């Protein structure tokens, strides 16, 4: 009976089997490096946005439900990026020598450094502002700063003041719905300014305000 080695060498010769070319493996490694760099950069960007949204959240005058204040959409994206980066790093030829904890620590540490750099350049604020202006869907999902204030049924509403009457204001909310806000001193407000109100919804387009606070930053539309 022929030995396996002889059968294999005959098959290699007969079928003219050749080693995969050198460039194939170089290209694969290059791809791994590119994906890793992109994943780390995206991780840094997501982390910078999460930290920006958390740091600039108005924790003092907020919702009773902390869930609304957490930028969970960006947090979820950040976790997904970390896992993708981790599984990509695992494909490197020598990374099996490191434990999961060591690899994840490296990825998280690298993304923290990038996030710090992006924060110092004020990029998260600019990006978040730009995304919010361009996409209402983005604002509804990702903007944890304004989202808690779009729950009129629970007593929270915010938006831009578009008209002022003797005993009330006309407010345009995030969803572009107009609301009549009953306030004690309408003359106190300015058209075009953005405000948050706590109070009670009294009909489908009427809200009685008990407390109000301006947006510290420019309200996004």
Partner 1 sequence: MEQKSDKDLVKLSLSDKEAFLPLMRRYEERLFRYILRISSFSQEEAEDTLQEVFIAIYRNLYNFDERLSFSSWAYRIAHNKTISRYRFKKARPQTVNIENTDVNKLISHINLEEEVNNKILSKKVLSILNHLKTSHKEIIVLKYLEEKSYQEISDILKKPIGSVATNLKKAKESFKSNWLKNN
The nearer residue to partner 1, 4 or 203, going by C-beta atoms, is 4
What three-state secondary structure class fits 155?
A: coil
Here the contacts of 211-218 (C-beta below 8 Å, separation 24 or greater) are 211/61, 212/183, 213/58, 213/61, 215/158, 216/58, 217/56, 218/129, 218/194
Q: Does 9 bind partner 1 (CB under 8 A)?
A: yes
Q: Is 14 an interacting residue with respect to partner 1 (CB under 8 A)?
A: no
Residue placing its CB nearer to partner 1 in the complex, 5 or 60: 5
Which of 25, 83, 117, 188 forms a contact with partner 1 (CB under 8 A)?
Answer: 25
Count the residues of the shown chain that bind partner 1, applying the rule CB under 8 A.
24
| Alpha helix stretches (DSSP H) within the chain | 4-14, 22-55, 72-90, 100-120, 123-134, 136-142
- By the 8 A CB rule, do 207 and 219 touch? no
Between residue 98 and residue 137, which ones bind partner 1 under the rule CB under 8 A?
Answer: 98-99
Q: Per CB under 8 A, does 24 bind partner 1?
A: yes
Binding pattern for the stretch 86-105 against partner 1, x by CB under 8 A and - elsewhere: -------xx-xxxx------
Q: Least distance from C-beta 86 to partner 1, angstroms?
A: 14
7 near partner 1, rule: CB under 8 A: yes
- Please state, in angstroms and as integers, the Cα–Cα distance from residue 9 to each residue in 1, 17, 22, following that order: 15, 10, 21
Residues that bind partner 1 in the complex, under the rule CB under 8 A: 3-9, 11-13, 17-22, 24-25, 93-94, 96-99
């Amino acid at each position: 009976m022929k030995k396996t080695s002889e059968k294999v060498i005959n098959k290699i010769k007969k079928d003219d089997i050749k080693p995969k070319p050198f460039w194939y493996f170089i290209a694969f490694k290059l791809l791994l490096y590119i994906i890793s760099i992109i994943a780390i950069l995206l991780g840094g960007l997501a982390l910078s946005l999460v930290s920006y949204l958390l740091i600039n959240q108005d924790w003092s005058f907020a919702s009773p439900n902390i869930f609304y204040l957490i930028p969970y959409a960006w947090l979820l994206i950040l976790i997904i990026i970390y896992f993708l980066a981790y599984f990509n790093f695992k494909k490197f030829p020598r990374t099996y020598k490191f434990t999961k904890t060591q690899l994840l620590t490296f990825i998280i540490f690298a993304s923290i450094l990038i996030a710090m750099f992006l924060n110092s350049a004020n990029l998260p604020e600019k990006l978040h502002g730009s995304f919010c202006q361009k996409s209402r869907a983005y604002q509804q999902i990702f903007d944890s700063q304004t989202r808690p204030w779009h729950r009129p049924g629970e007593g929270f509403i915010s938006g831009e003041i578009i008209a002022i009457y003797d005993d009330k204001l006309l407010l345009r909310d995030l969803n572009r719905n107009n609301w009549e806000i009953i306030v004690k001193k309408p003359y106190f407000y300015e058209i075009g300014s953005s405000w948050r109100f706590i109070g009670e919804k009294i009909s489908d387009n009427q809200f009685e305000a008990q407390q109000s606070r301006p947006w510290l930053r420019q309200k996004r539309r």
